[in-house]
Structures are given as C-alpha cells and as structure tokens.
C-alpha cells in the first residue's frame, strides 16, 4: 500500500470525528431538501414513487455506513447520539429501499418508475403498480368501501385505502424519521 493511502487510512481512524461527519453534511442537506419535498406532495402514491427514487440510490451505495463505521471506531460514548442517528437512517434506507417482493421491486442500479412500485394487498384490494393506481385515481375515488366506513357521511374509498392508508402512512413514517435523524446529525 502506498504511504499516502496508509496516512489517509490512519487519519480516518484517528482524526477528529467532527471532520468525518462534516464530509457528509452536503449529502445530508440535499437529502433533507428532497425528503421535505416528498413529505409535502399531496398525492401519496406519487410521493412513494419519489421516495423510492431518492432512497434506492442511497441504499445501492450503502448509505452512510462507511461514515458510521469510521465513527464507531472513534467512539468512546461521546458519539452515541450521532451513530444512533446514522444507524436509524440506514434502517430507513433498508426498509424503504429495494426488495424483490416488496413495494419497490427493482434491482440495484435500476431507475424506479411507477411501474416498479407495487401497492395493494390491503383490505382485500389486489396488488397493482403505482401506475395502475394513478391512472385510475378518479374512478377509485368513487368506489366507496361500505365495509370499512363507520361514518356514512364520510365513506372510505378504494383510493383512500391505497393513497392515504397504505402509501400515505408509509411515506409519512419514513419522511418523518429521516428528517428527524438528519436534524440530529446537522445539529451535531
């Protein structure tokens, strides 16, 4: 190994932890902006597709696992909160990333389209692509689910089950968690 590589390697383990965290600040700020945009999208089916488009490339490169590894080597208790936030981000990338049988059925490096995102299998609703649900939104907003409605004045629709219940909860859970952990990291 060349001397410069050895020096760089040793600095990564013995240099100040703040410097390691500072290296990922631009990525964190970009991710924060993207996730805020996803969280503000009015259509959750479109938002879940966008969330996967942001998360999957991060999952492909291991997220911030390398920074977490370096910080863990330097941790003597003083970095527990930072490492915890990085670990939580990694879990979001894993749980909202690619999965052969999940919602985001893509392979590493593959771009995500509405045809690759699968929603359904809730309340007896068949599983279909996000594209399918988006194309039929107007029709699905009129399909009342009397089996699920407790208030006849505000009946539940098939669109509500897919958009608000399934996609909406998934998006909210991940965007809230990601933003909360980015806030911790940027404040460190």
| pLDDT score of 5 | 56
Burial of residue 41 (number of CB atoms within 10 Å: 0-12, 13-18, 19+): middle
| pLDDT score of 14 | 54
* Lowest-pLDDT range of 38-52, 125-139, 142-156, 157-171: 142-156
**Per-residue pLDDT averaged across 133-157, rounded?**
90
Burial of residue 45 (number of CB atoms within 10 Å: 0-12, 13-18, 19+): buried
Which residues on adjacent β-strands are paired with residue 144?
A: 157
- Is residue 140 pLDDT above 70, yes or no? yes
- Longest CA–CA span in the chain (Å) reads 74
pLDDT digits (tens, 9 = 90+) for 53-111: 999 999 999 999 999 999 998 888 899 999 999 999 999 999 999 999 999 999 999 99
Looking up tokens 């509500």, which residue turns up? 160
| pLDDT score of 183 | 98
DSSP labels, 25-83: HHHHHHHHHHHHHHHT-S-HHHHHHHHHHHHHHHHHTTTTHHHHHHHHHH-SSTTHHHH
The band of 3, judged by pLDDT with boundaries at 50, 70 and 90, is: low
Hey, what are 118's tokens? Answer: 């699968």
- Do residues 112 and 97 make contact, with C-beta atoms less than 8 angstroms apart? no
Mean pLDDT of the chain: 91
| pLDDT score of 17 | 74
**Per-residue pLDDT averaged across 43-53, rounded?**
98
- Is residue 27 pLDDT above 70, yes or no? yes
Q: What percent of the chain shows pLDDT beyond 90?
A: 79
């Amino acid at each position: 190994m060349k001397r410069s590589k050895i020096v760089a390697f040793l600095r990564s383990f013995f240099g100040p932890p703040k410097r390691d965290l500072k290296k990922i600040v631009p990525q964190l700020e970009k991710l924060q902006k993207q996730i805020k945009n996803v969280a503000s999208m009015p259509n959750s089916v479109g938002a879940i597709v966008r969330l996967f488009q942001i998360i999957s490339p991060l999952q492909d490169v291991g997220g911030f696992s390398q920074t977490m590894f370096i910080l863990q080597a330097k941790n003597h208790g003083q970095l527990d909160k930072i490492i915890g936030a990085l670990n939580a981000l990694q879990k979001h990338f894993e749980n909202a990333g690619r999965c052969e049988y999940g919602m985001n059925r893509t392979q590493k490096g593959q771009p995500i389209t509405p045809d690759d995102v699968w929603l359904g299998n809730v309340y007896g609703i068949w599983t279909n692509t996000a594209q399918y649900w988006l194309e039929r939104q107007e029709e699905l907003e009129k399909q009342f689910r009397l089996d699920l409605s407790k208030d006849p004045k505000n009946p539940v629709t098939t669109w509500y089950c897919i958009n608000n219940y399934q996609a909406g909860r998934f998006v909210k859970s991940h965007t809230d968690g990601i933003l909360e952990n980015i806030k911790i990291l940027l404040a460190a």
